[in-house]
Amino acid sequence: MKRHLVLAMTILVATVTVSGVVRAAPASQIVQIDVAGQSTTIFGVLEGLPSLGASDGYYAGPGPAAQIKAYYSSGQYAADQAAVTAAARAYFTGWLKTHCTGPDDCSDKKAAAVFDIDDTLISSYQALSSNSFTPGVEYDKAVAECTTPAIAPVVSFLNFVESQGVAFYLITGRPGTERALTSTCMHKIGVSGWRQLIMRSPTQLTMTAQRYKSAARAQIQKSGYTIITSIGDQVSDSAGGSTKRGFLLPNPMYYIP
């Protein structure tokens, strides 16, 4: 069971304007994102994103495909990913300066960071765009063979986190049956040394992402760790507490509540 197959397929109305000329675009403004019923402080960009309070998940589908492709080809998608990651790194670095005297001290204080995987550390854009932003054989093959390319700024941030003596956790919506191929893929893109790779158990497959991931972060916190940052492409990667600050990467291709 792939991580997305529980989602309903509907059309996402993108906010990107298509023009006849594709130009490199500057990063969008990073803003605090307020979600009804959530107290977690989350920062990110709103370019191309749906209503973040929606209760049902979906894929964009063919309707806004041209707009999403224009967002990607203009360079703004990558610029926004880099900008959000830079903001996360700046907050993380500031926390370290205030609370740690060095890597050993951070380790002793059990500081931690959390990373999502799909469209956070690796990109499914090519696999989904080839099928009008609807999952299918191409997506399943890309996951199985790890042809999903790394999102370089986020991988770089993760490696920086590790270099500072801070534990990092990977929390993914993928089922545990994909553990071996997911671990192999992470090593392929230069990610290793995680404290734990957290994946859905059979009983968690029907949970919303927010419930599942917030419970996972709560368990990390219960074990004595302080989660400084949580970064992902969905609000559900950070909402629900147990992190000092959440960071939302852009993803106009699908929504997972």
Contact between 198 and 225 (Cβ < 8 Å): no
Average pLDDT in the chain: 87
Q: Please name the residue that has the structure tokens 């998940």.
A: 57
Retrieve residue 49's tokens.
């994103």
Q: How far apart are CA 6 and CA 10, in angstroms?
A: 13
Question: Closest Cα partner for 125 from 88, 166, 170, 81?
Answer: 81
List the domain boundaries for the chain: 31-255
pLDDT of residue 107: 86
Positive or negative torsion for Cα 40, 54, 3, 137: negative
| pLDDT for 246 beyond 60 | yes
Question: Closest Cα partner for 47 from 92, 23, 83?
Answer: 83
The four Cα atoms 79, 257, 224, 169 give a dihedral, to 10 degrees, of: -50
Q: Please name the residue that has the structure tokens 């960009």.
A: 45
Q: Please name the residue that has the structure tokens 């499914």.
A: 124
CA-angle at 26, arms to 22 and 31, nearest 5°: 130
Report pLDDT digits (tens) over 199-211.
999 999 999 999 9
pLDDT of residue 50: 60
Q: Please name the residue that has the structure tokens 């803003």.
A: 31
Report pLDDT digits (tens) over 135-154.
999 999 999 999 999 999 99
What φ, ψ does residue 144 adopt, rounded to 5°? Answer: -65, -35
Region 59-86 average pLDDT: 94
Q: What is the DSSP letter of 172?
A: E
| pLDDT for 193 beyond 60 | yes
Higher pLDDT, 21 or 189: 189
Q: How far apart are CA 169 and CA 213, in angstroms?
A: 11
| pLDDT for 18 beyond 50 | no
Contact between 234 and 30 (Cβ < 8 Å): no
CATH of the domain spanning 31-255: 3.40.50.1000
Contact between 229 and 97 (Cβ < 8 Å): no
User: CB-side exposure of 249: number of CA atoms within 13 Å?
Assistant: 30
- pLDDT tier at 3, thresholds 50, 70, 90: very low
Q: Please name the residue that has the structure tokens 């989602």.
A: 7
